[in-house]
């Protein structure tokens, strides 16, 4: 297995303060300007990553220090240059494959241009992120005593490529999926396209609050940089919420949900290393086991390459998501020893006793007279 690098960045001003407390008194505008000036740098060295059959690799988390709103607002080529500079840092350390984390895999064309310009193969991590999110959603249902087969699931951001893939994977195991997004025309077209392919009822709405009132399971797959779900939208029901990014649910919603709800950043995997990376990070070390196969597969560009540039991600970079490739990399990750880690909320592990207390409170609420 070859070494890898994974490009990271702060997801919020609070992230910057958490890792650099001295930034607290400087104010967000100044911190944002400092981040804009900062070069890419190696933030962490990961060692001891072993597969069940004994193969070992190492990697580096390399920071491209921009906030999400900066990545979305700055000229696209400037952001690409920052990401490529981070990959170059990884290459200088010995990385042979790169992963794009958080908004580095979202900005622009979803990794295509980065892959074309990168000196090493690139993966966005979308495939394993989707697989881990859906696994986490149903694991959470089991933890909360929710009967998934009779439940109503809400997918926020359903019209995005990740959201649409999650809708299809969830639909086989629930009674109803409510698709939520901002554009009603795109929602209507999505449901019309997917309904013949799935066994459950599909509905759609642009009214998030109304959808949440009916929900048992919630999955947020939006790239919004703002809070999406607020406390008042969660009153009165016991449910499990899985999300791709912490900012999609407000900290106030999590704190105020009390005995009715637990949040899980569902894209969390445990790997054979001492740490537990997010699933979007996991395909970088996972893909190292397929690196040589990818290099041999130039005769099949749609499977392993994009415009003659090798991309070690079975779904490839870009906006499209192939469900079969999601399943493929999920199986590949399992063979490499990756599995879901403890459920977390806002970077804190949810202890088993807290989940048990929440489940008991939820059962009491369900059995209470209407």
Token readout for 356 is: 């048990």
* pLDDT the model gives residue 240: 61
Mean pLDDT across the chain, nearest whole number?
A: 77
Q: What angle do CA 137, 219, 104 make, to 5 degrees?
A: 105
What are the structure tokens assigned to 351, written together?
A: 């202890």
CB–CB of 71/104 below 8 Å?
yes
Residue 32 lies inside a defined structural domain of this protein? yes
Asked if residue 174 belongs to a domain, the reply is: yes
**171 lies in the same domain as 87:** no
- Write the DSSP string, 136-173: HHHHHHHHHT--GGG-EEEEETTTSHHHHHHHHHHHTT
Are 193 and 284 in the same domain? no
Per 3-state DSSP, what percentage of the chain is helix, strand, and coil (rounded to 5)?
50, 20, 30
Residue 223's pLDDT band (cuts 50, 70, 90): low
Same domain? For 258 and 360 the reply is yes
Within-domain flag for 302: yes
Least confident of 116-125, 142-151, 238-247: 238-247
Instruction: Report in angstroms the alpha-carbon separations of 296 from 50, 108, 133, 284.
Output: 24, 29, 31, 18
Residues 209 and 159 in one domain: yes
Q: 116-127, pLDDT tens digit by residue? A: 999 999 988 778
Measured distance CA(51)–CA(49) in Å, rounded: 7
Number of H helices, E strands in the chain: 16, 17
Whether residue 362 sits in one domain with residue 244: yes
CA distance 70 to 171: 35
Residue owning tokens 């580096």: 60
Q: Which residue has the higher pLDDT, 30 or 301?
A: 30
pLDDT of residue 224: 57
Domain that holds residue 53: 4-125+280-337
pTM of the model: 0.68
In a domain, 117, yes or no: yes
Are 166 and 245 found together in one domain? Answer: yes
Domain CATH for 360: 3.40.50.720
Q: How far is residue 201's CA from residue 205's CA, in Å, rounded to a whole number?
A: 14
Looking at the fold, whether 222 and 347 belong to one and the same domain comes out as: yes
Q: How many domains does the chain have?
A: 2
The pLDDT value given to residue 32: 93
Greater model confidence, 10 or 302:
10
Query: Looking at the structure, do residues 222 and 351 belong to the same domain, yes or no?
Result: yes
273 within some domain: no
Question: Percent of the chain having pLDDT more than 90?
Answer: 38
Helix (H, G, I), strand (E, B) or coil at 351: coil
- Looking at residue 239, its pLDDT comes to 57
**Does 357 lie in the same domain as 327?**
no
Q: Are residues 261 and 315 in the same domain?
A: no
Residue 159 counted as domain residue:
yes
Sole residue written with tokens 């079969």:
324
């Amino acid at each position: 297995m070859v070494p890898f690098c994974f490009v990271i960045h702060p997801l919020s001003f609070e992230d910057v303060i958490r890792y650099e407390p001295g930034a607290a008194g400087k104010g967000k505008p100044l911190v944002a300007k400092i981040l804009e000036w900062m070069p890419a740098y190696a933030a962490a060295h990961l060692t001891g990553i072993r597969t069940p059959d004994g193969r070992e690799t190492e990697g580096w988390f390399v920071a491209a220090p921009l906030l999400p709103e900066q990545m979305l607002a700055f000229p696209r080529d400037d952001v690409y240059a920052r990401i490529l500079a981070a990959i170059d840092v990884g290459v200088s350390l010995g990385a042979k494959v790169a992963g794009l984390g958080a908004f580095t895999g979202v900005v622009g064309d979803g990794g295509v241009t980065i892959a074309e310009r990168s000196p090493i193969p690139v993966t966005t991590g979308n495939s394993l992120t989707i697989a881990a999110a859906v696994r986490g959603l149903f694991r959470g249902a089991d933890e909360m005593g929710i009967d998934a087969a009779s439940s109503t699931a809400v997918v926020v951001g359903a019209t995005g490529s990740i959201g649409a893939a999650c809708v299809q994977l969830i639909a086989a195991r629930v009674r109803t999926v409510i698709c939520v997004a901002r554009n009603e025309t795109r929602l209507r077209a999505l449901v019309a396209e997917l309904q013949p392919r799935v066994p459950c009822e599909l509905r759609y709405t642009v009214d998030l609050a109304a959808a949440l009132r009916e929900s048992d399971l919630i999955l947020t797959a939006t790239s919004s940089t703002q809070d999406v779900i607020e406390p008042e939208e969660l009153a009165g029901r016991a449910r499990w919420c899985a999300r791709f990014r912490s900012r999609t649910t407000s900290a106030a919603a999590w704190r105020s949900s009390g005995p009715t709800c637990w949040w899980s950043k569902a894209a969390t995997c445990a790997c054979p290393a001492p740490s537990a990376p997010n699933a979007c990070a996991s395909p970088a070390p996972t893909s190292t086991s397929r690196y040589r196969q990818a290099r041999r597969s130039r005769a099949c560009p749609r499977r392993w390459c994009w415009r003659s540039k090798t991309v070690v991600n079975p779904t490839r970079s870009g906006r499209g998501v192939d469900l079969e490739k999601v399943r493929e990399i999920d199986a590949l990750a399992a063979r490499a020893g990756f599995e879901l880690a403890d459920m977390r909320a806002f970077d804190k592990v949810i202890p088993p006793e807290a989940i048990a207390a929440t489940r008991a409170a939820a059962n009491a609420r369900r059995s209470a007279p209407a």
